[in-house]
Amino acid sequence: METAPASRRPVSRLAEFFAFEPGEAGPTLLLTLYLLLAIASVIALKAASNGLFLTHFSARDLPFVYVAIALSASFVVGFYIRLSNRLSQHRLLIYTQLFAVSNLLVFWWMLSSDLPWFSAVVYVWTGIYAVIIPSQVWTLANHLFTTRQARRLFAIVGSGGILGAALGGLFAREVARASGTAALLPTCGGLLLACAGIVAYLWRTARQAAASTLRPKQSGPPASLLDSLQAVRGSRYLLLLTLLVSLSAILNNLVDYQFKFIVRQEITDRDQLTAFFAGFSSYLAFFSFLMQLLLTSRVMRWFGLNFAIFVLPISMLAGSTVLLFSTTLTAAVILKGADNAFRHSIDRSSVELLWVPLPARLKQQAKSFIDVVASRWADGLGGVLLVLFASVLHWSVVKISWVNLAVGLPWLAVAWLLRREYVQTLRSSIERPDISAEALLVEMAGASSDEITTVLTSADEKAVETGLGVLQYGQVNAAAANLGALLTHLSPAIRRKALAVVDSKRVPGCASEVEKFLYLDDQVSSLWLALDYLERDAAGSFRGLLERLLESPYVVLRATAAVRLLGRSAGQDQARAEAVFTAFVAGARQSEALHRQQAAELLGRGPGDAGCQDALEAFLDDPDPQVVRAAIVSAGQTGQGSLLSRLIDRAADRRWRTEVRRALAAFGPEILPDLREAMLDPARPAAVRSALPRAVASSGGQPAADLLVSILDTTDPGLQYQALRALNRMRRGAPDLQFDGGHVTSLALREVKQYYQYISLREGVPSNGSDAGAAFLRRTLAEQLRRKLDVIFRLISLLYPPKDIFDAFYGLRSGRPDLRSNALEFLDNTLQNPVRQMLLPLLESRAAERIVEHGRTFFGFGAGSYAESLGALLGESDPWLQSCAAYAAAEAGLREVAPALDSLEDAPNSLLRETVLAARERLSRPAASL
């Protein structure tokens, strides 16, 4: 069903263009304005400090102030971190800004004295200011937005930075021309006051709206710079992030030096210099702003970090290479232009995105340190490199480009590593702890062996049973002395559990107690286990023991010993053993249920050619479920092909379906073609066919997996789903199983397509009013959508690490915005196209209309009229969905769907037939009586 797109209001178009979800526009625009003002003040102050410094000093003195900035930054941030420990985030931001305003006013007053050294102080101060103030904007943004929001919205926020750079440059140029460079200081103070107002407002309003993502201050924040340093050292991700930021800062310094050196050679006048720097920044920023607004947000949305994180290092490497061959002002402008264009836009958005999935505590510990101290230290290192190469070794600006390349290439490598770590961090953030009951028991058993020994001698039978249960997972050394006595315990449950421990742990020296056990117990499996132990550990001849047991007064013990003898190499006792066993089986057929069960069980353990095997067929039809269960297990053990069909017929019966599954698995892969035939046989009940995939999975191996994948192509949704579940189970146990990626992908895309179709059809069903049929249909469609998603993720998990995919699935359904967002971001960075391209929009969009839009774009689906939706649903292959549609059509009196109903009159599904007949009857009534 195709429909024309509905006309939308300009505001909606704007929201769609920027990909705003409800409630996001306000905080985003305020943050954008905040960054605009912050960057404008930074650019204006940088222009002022450049002009002031280069009037009194030469460009060759710049490396010294870079080092001074690095050293000062450590002190400032050390203090800043201590302050952040005492103040709430918004107070920290506001107080810092007010403090900076007071500093600017003092600088303004001091500049009138025209002291050359003071221009260096202003330069250093501006260097620190230029890092702290924008970093604060991003820290706030990091707290307000989740990963997915960050990916969509950071580019918009970043555009504020670019626009701020442009306006800041123009503003600085005009103020410098009109009132002189010094006047820039108090005017920037005014901009900062506005920033403080925005922070106060944003904190108050957005905090409530994003309460779930604004986590409370956590315990153990850093108290000092050293604590922050330790936090960074303890995390590979943060170390890489520090390296990335540092290499970026070093290269920025080198390029900045080269640029300023070349400019200073061309322009000598102080105010002309200020005007050039300001003008350069402005024109570049306007260009960058347009690019950021039109391109960056889309690049971030479409490609994410995979692409964005490489843009700046690659452009810097390219610019440096150009400078190697040309030292003109144009080449310098290109290099610095590339730096400025991307550093505050796409690169900043990428680097800030790297912070979002980190836990709040880690973020709090490390962000100030990396943003300010590490980057300033890197500036200092850049300064040292410049001193070394420019001042000591007297390298030219061209030659310094080789240093650029030496720094840029590792930067690229770190970016690549960090991109991988980013996905790993997302994976960790959505991971659900995998608590294995067995692992817990092992831990319990290991931790309390002394207590278990005490428990084993207890008079409390339940306690002894529990102790034995735990012992199976731990060391038995300390408890071994008690186990022998427990083998002859009055309680059969304790005896049997003790035997299981003695056998599985190979506890030596219990032969005499195990032999006594044989005369106390009548359970075939326990007798068999006891004989296993004795065969291994008994001092005398095991065959002699079996021969003695043939004379035992207990029939089941005699029969068990006989079967054991029949399984050994031929001897004089074989005929006697066969006679004992045959007599036991024959007698059991006429005896009580326990005997029949014992006989059925022994038939599975005996050789397949034993004369009495025909009894197994009779036991499969026994009225007692225990006997049937034992017979089913034995049928699997003997592998009698003649019993296969009868086992399959019993696969859906809840009383013994587990045993049937195991028995079929015991037949091995040879029966896979028979199972396939049975699954696809329409004459067999649906319940039986749906029970078989799990049996196929139990047999394991690649052929079973291939068979189940082929079953996914069937049109029976129940069978298809069970086959998928069985495949998921197999993959969890055997991760090296191979699946046809192309085939599974096409199946996943088929489900994705149907998801879009169903959601479009649901949009055509009225959601208000008193129409119970429509409401029920909408509810059914909502359930179908949930199931589709379940199937899609199950299919995807065949191609990707299943635990990661299921963790992401649960993250999406968790109801926690941060977890959901990280799950989406993880999938976005893990899945490959075309699944990623088509699946992500339907997972991400909150509003059904948005998903319908995507469905229209991808497949041409669209929301039609109610009658059209019902017509389409009646044409589906799912009888339940068809039934709901038929009911809703009758309820709404939609006679135009009557032809579609007529075609379902003889549907094989009884519920559908019943509903269609009732709907047709209802629609045939006069209009007034509907």
Partner 1 sequence: METLTTLDKAIRLQKVELFRDLETDGLALAASIAAQLQFPAGSVLFQENGPADALYIVLEGRVQLSRGGREIFATGVGETLGNWALFDEQPSLATATCVEDTSLLKIEREDFFDLLADHAEMTQTMFKALVKRVRALLALGLQAEQAGGAARNA
Q: Residues 643 to 662: which contact partner 1 by CB under 8 A?
A: 654
Chosen residue from 728, 883, 892, 900 binding partner 1 by CB under 8 A: 883
Distance, first Cα to last Cα, the chain: 28
Residue closer to partner 1 (CB basis): 213 or 915: 915
Chosen residue from 776, 800, 810, 859 binding partner 1 by CB under 8 A: 776
Chosen residue from 339, 887, 904, 923 binding partner 1 by CB under 8 A: 887
User: How many Cα atoms within 13 Å fall on the side-chain side of residue 121?
Assistant: 12
- Closest approach, Cβ 656 to partner 1, in A, equals 13
Residue closer to partner 1 (CB basis): 492 or 893: 893
- Closest approach, Cβ 680 to partner 1, in A, equals 23
- Closest approach, Cβ 822 to partner 1, in A, equals 28
What CA–CA distance (Å, rounded) separates 344 from 110? 31
Residue 722 CA to chain centroid, in angstroms? 24
Residue closer to partner 1 (CB basis): 304 or 773: 773
- Report if residue 779 touches partner 1, rule: CB under 8 A: yes
- Closest approach, Cβ 753 to partner 1, in A, equals 22
Residue closer to partner 1 (CB basis): 659 or 818: 659
Chosen residue from 23, 914, 924, 925 binding partner 1 by CB under 8 A: 914
Q: Residues 549 to 578: which contact partner 1 by CB under 8 A?
A: none
Tokens of 849: 């209309």
Q: Which stretch binds partner 1 (CB under 8 A): 26-34, 229-237, 689-697, 778-786?
A: 778-786
Q: Which stretch binds partner 1 (CB under 8 A): 106-114, 441-449, 739-747, 878-886?
A: 878-886
Closest of 717, 709, 731, 753 to residue 854, by C-alpha = 753
- Report if residue 780 touches partner 1, rule: CB under 8 A: yes
- Closest approach, Cβ 697 to partner 1, in A, equals 18
- Closest approach, Cβ 916 to partner 1, in A, equals 10
Q: What's the angle, vertex CA 512, arms to CA 584 and CA 459, rounded to 5?
A: 95
- Closest approach, Cβ 758 to partner 1, in A, equals 14
Residue closer to partner 1 (CB basis): 307 or 810: 810
Residue 217, SS3 per DSSP: coil
Q: Which stretch binds partner 1 (CB under 8 A): 69-77, 367-375, 509-517, 882-890?
A: 882-890
Handedness of CA 42, 43, 46, 48 (dihedral sign): negative
User: How many Cα atoms within 13 Å fall on the side-chain side of residue 152?
Assistant: 22
What one-character-per-residue DSSP string does 561-622 give? HHHHHHTSS--TTHHHHHHHHHHHHHHHHTS-HHHHHHHHHHHHHS-TT-GGGHHHHHHHT-
Cβ(176)–Cβ(271) under 8 Å?
yes
Q: Is 814 exposed, middle or buried (0-12, 13-18, 19+ CB in 10 A)?
A: middle
- Report if residue 915 touches partner 1, rule: CB under 8 A: yes
Number of residues that bind partner 1 (CB under 8 A): 15
Q: Residues 893 to 912: which contact partner 1 by CB under 8 A?
A: 911
- Please report, for residues 141, 251, 889, the alpha-carbon distance to residue 67 in angstroms, rounded to integers and kept in the order given: 30, 15, 78
- Report if residue 810 touches partner 1, rule: CB under 8 A: no
What CA–CA distance (Å, rounded) separates 661 from 671? 13
What CA–CA distance (Å, rounded) separates 884 from 633? 43
What CA–CA distance (Å, rounded) separates 70 from 75? 9
What CA–CA distance (Å, rounded) separates 565 from 567? 5
Residue closer to partner 1 (CB basis): 702 or 909: 909
- Closest approach, Cβ 782 to partner 1, in A, equals 9
Question: Which H, E and C letters describe 237-305, residue by residue?
Answer: HHHHHHHHHHHHHHHHHHHHHHHHHHHHHHCCCHHHHHHHHHHHHHHHHHHHHHHHHHHHHHHHHHCCH
Residue closer to partner 1 (CB basis): 547 or 771: 771
Cβ(331)–Cβ(120) under 8 Å?
no
What CA–CA distance (Å, rounded) separates 157 from 352? 11
Q: Residues 217 to 236: which contact partner 1 by CB under 8 A?
A: none
Chosen residue from 226, 439, 575, 772 binding partner 1 by CB under 8 A: 772
Q: Which stretch binds partner 1 (CB under 8 A): 365-373, 384-392, 594-602, 877-885?
A: 877-885
- Please report, for residues 359, 376, 826, the alpha-carbon distance to residue 213 in angstroms, rounded to integers and kept in the order given: 11, 30, 18
- Closest approach, Cβ 883 to partner 1, in A, equals 6
Residue closer to partner 1 (CB basis): 307 or 776: 776
Assign residue 563 a region: left if phi > 0, alpha if psi is -120 to 50, beta otherwise?
Answer: alpha
Closest of 144, 195, 138 to residue 168, by C-alpha = 195
- Report if residue 884 touches partner 1, rule: CB under 8 A: yes
- Report if residue 634 touches partner 1, rule: CB under 8 A: no
- Closest approach, Cβ 887 to partner 1, in A, equals 5
Handedness of CA 359, 361, 364, 367 (dihedral sign): negative
- Report if residue 690 touches partner 1, rule: CB under 8 A: no
Residue closer to partner 1 (CB basis): 787 or 816: 787
Q: Which stretch binds partner 1 (CB under 8 A): 233-241, 411-419, 502-510, 772-780?
A: 772-780
Quote helix, strand, coil % in the chain, to nearest 5: 80, 0, 20
Binding mask 99-138 for partner 1 (x = CB under 8 A): ----------------------------------------
Residue closer to partner 1 (CB basis): 72 or 780: 780
- Closest approach, Cβ 918 to partner 1, in A, equals 5
Residue closer to partner 1 (CB basis): 493 or 911: 911
- Report if residue 869 touches partner 1, rule: CB under 8 A: no
Tokens of 585: 């089986």
Residue closer to partner 1 (CB basis): 207 or 922: 922
Q: Which stretch binds partner 1 (CB under 8 A): 287-295, 383-391, 459-467, 876-884?
A: 876-884
Cβ(632)–Cβ(659) under 8 Å?
yes
Cβ(34)–Cβ(897) under 8 Å?
no
Chosen residue from 57, 519, 800, 880 binding partner 1 by CB under 8 A: 880
Residue closer to partner 1 (CB basis): 171 or 887: 887
Helices (H), 797-909: 802-812, 817-830, 835-844, 848-859, 866-874, 879-892, 898-902
Contact residues: partner 1, CB under 8 A = 654, 772-773, 776, 779-780, 783, 880, 883-884, 887, 911, 914-915, 918
